[in-house]
């Protein structure tokens, strides 16, 4: 009876909650977890949380499934863990969440598993962790972020503020690499899903005050009022990394893309078109340097993080398992 009461409480929590056993196989997945991740309980229970499901990454692109898994640490020493990470949504994009892992103990006090609670961190107003689209004249119907009209209307005043010397402004130009190949190989339906994935990654990687724009086709802008060189570089590399670590499953195929990025700070008196043209040229510099790269006026940025895990199986030994068994 007591256990059923707890389950009913978990069903009505907005936070995501899931339980794993000592092998990190998921044994329970609440409706909050379904809402935040897009994965239903039937799709994940009985599977490892790393099997192409969540695969948490940090802002620097460090993959916790390879080392530093909070749940493995909890089951090793019994101490709770907290972390700020980007989880993987079923539709491909990354969602910023705060996670907390706690041990599960049996009547004798032995650790038999772990529970993780997670909830989305506040990100950009265009970010939609549920993958649903919004109906709005200034929102791109496909991706759910600002459309070109929205971008043109909002760029003018922030560029004017730079001209007046009262604000700074960063602009990031993002282009999907080899997008024509995606459409030719998989069809335009898959191409549309790729654009949604990239658009939501951009939204989820920005601050509330920033605005993401689908500029046209597979081209996107991120506009960062108040940015300085350091925050511009951090945002540009973060967006590149988030896309690189994103994917969605289409049958047996794991659909992945990368992006080429150009990032620049606005200069007083140059105008919107000149600013965007410079960001565009820097993006093409990334293309010419091999793609999957971010370039600023100072040159290409070092790629942070690790090479993404490919596939849906578990080809590696889960970190810590040999210790905690």
Q: Do 206 and 97 sit in the same domain of this protein?
A: no
User: Catalytic site residues?
Assistant: 218
**From CA 235, how far away is CA 241, in angstroms rounded?**
10
Q: Which domain holds residue 18?
A: 2-121+312-324
Q: Do 168 and 190 sit in the same domain of this protein?
A: yes
In a domain, 305, yes or no: no
Domains in the chain, number: 2
Q: Do 153 and 83 sit in the same domain of this protein?
A: no
Q: Do 113 and 174 sit in the same domain of this protein?
A: no
In a domain, 134, yes or no: no
For residue 219, pLDDT beyond 80: yes
- CATH code of 152's domain: 3.30.70.270
Q: Which residues on neighbouring strands pair with residue 216, listed in sequence order? A: 219
Lowest pLDDT segment from 171-180, 197-206, 249-258, 284-293: 249-258
Measured in degrees and rounded to the nearest 5, phi and psi for residue 159 equal: -70, -40
pLDDT of residue 135: 63
Q: Do 291 and 317 sit in the same domain of this protein?
A: no
- Pick 284 or 7 by higher pLDDT: 284
In a domain, 196, yes or no: yes
Q: Do 15 and 36 sit in the same domain of this protein?
A: yes
- CATH code of 9's domain: 3.30.450.20
In a domain, 279, yes or no: yes
Q: Do 49 and 110 sit in the same domain of this protein?
A: yes
**From CA 210, how far away is CA 203, in angstroms rounded?**
9
In a domain, 171, yes or no: yes
Q: Do 158 and 104 sit in the same domain of this protein?
A: no
| C-alpha to C-alpha distances, 85 to 121, 129, 140, nearest whole angstrom | 9, 14, 27
In a domain, 129, yes or no: no
Q: Do 113 and 173 sit in the same domain of this protein?
A: no
**From CA 129, how far away is CA 88, in angstroms rounded?**
10
Q: At 203, is the pLDDT very low, low, confident or very high (cuts 50, 70, 90)?
A: very high
Q: Do 177 and 284 sit in the same domain of this protein?
A: yes
Around Cβ 314, how many Cβ atoms within 10 Å?
A: 16
| Predicted confidence (pLDDT) per residue in 40-90, tens digit | 999 999 999 888 799 999 999 999 988 788 898 999 999 999 999 999 999
Q: Do 62 and 181 sit in the same domain of this protein?
A: no
Q: Do 222 and 117 sit in the same domain of this protein?
A: no
In a domain, 175, yes or no: yes
For residue 122, pLDDT beyond 90: no
pTM equals: 0.92
In a domain, 191, yes or no: yes
């Amino acid at each position: 009876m007591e256990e059923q009461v707890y389950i009913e409480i978990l069903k009505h929590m907005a936070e995501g909650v899931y339980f794993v056993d000592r092998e990190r196989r998921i044994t329970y997945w609440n409706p909050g977890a379904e809402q935040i991740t897009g994965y239903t309980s039937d799709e994940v229970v009985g599977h490892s949380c790393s099997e192409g499901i969540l695969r948490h990454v940090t802002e620097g692109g460090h993959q916790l499934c390879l080392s530093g898994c909070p749940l493995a640490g909890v089951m090793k020493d019994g101490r709770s863990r907290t972390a700020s990470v980007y989880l993987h949504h079923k539709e491909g994009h990354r969602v910023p969440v705060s996670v907390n892992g706690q041990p599960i103990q049996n009547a004798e006090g032995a650790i038999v598993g772990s529970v993780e609670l997670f909830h989305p961190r506040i990100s950009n107003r265009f970010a939609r962790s549920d993958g649903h689209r919004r109906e709005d004249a200034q929102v791109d119907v496909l991706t759910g972020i600002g459309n070109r009209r929205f971008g043109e209307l909002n760029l003018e005043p922030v560029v004017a503020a730079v001209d007046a010397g009262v604000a700074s402004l960063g602009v990031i130009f993002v282009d999907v690499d080899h997008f024509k190949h995606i459409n030719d190989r998989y069809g335009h339906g898959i191409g549309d899903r790729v654009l949604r994935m990239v658009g939501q990654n951009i939204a989820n990687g920005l601050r509330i005050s920033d605005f993401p724009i689908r500029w046209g086709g597979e081209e996107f802008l991120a506009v960062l009022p108040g940015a300085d060189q350091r925050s511009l570089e951090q945002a540009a590399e973060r967006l590149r990394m988030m896309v690189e670590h994103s994917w969605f499953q289409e049958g047996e195929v794991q659909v992945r893309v990368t992006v080429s990025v150009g990032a620049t700070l606005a200069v007083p008196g140059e105008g919107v078109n000149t600013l965007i043209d410079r960001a565009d040229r820097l993006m093409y510099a990334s293309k010419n340097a091999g793609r999957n790269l971010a370039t600023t006026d100072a040159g290409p940025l070092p790629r942070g993080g690790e090479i993404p895990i490919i596939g849906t199986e578990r080809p590696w030994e889960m970190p810590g398992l040999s210790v905690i068994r």
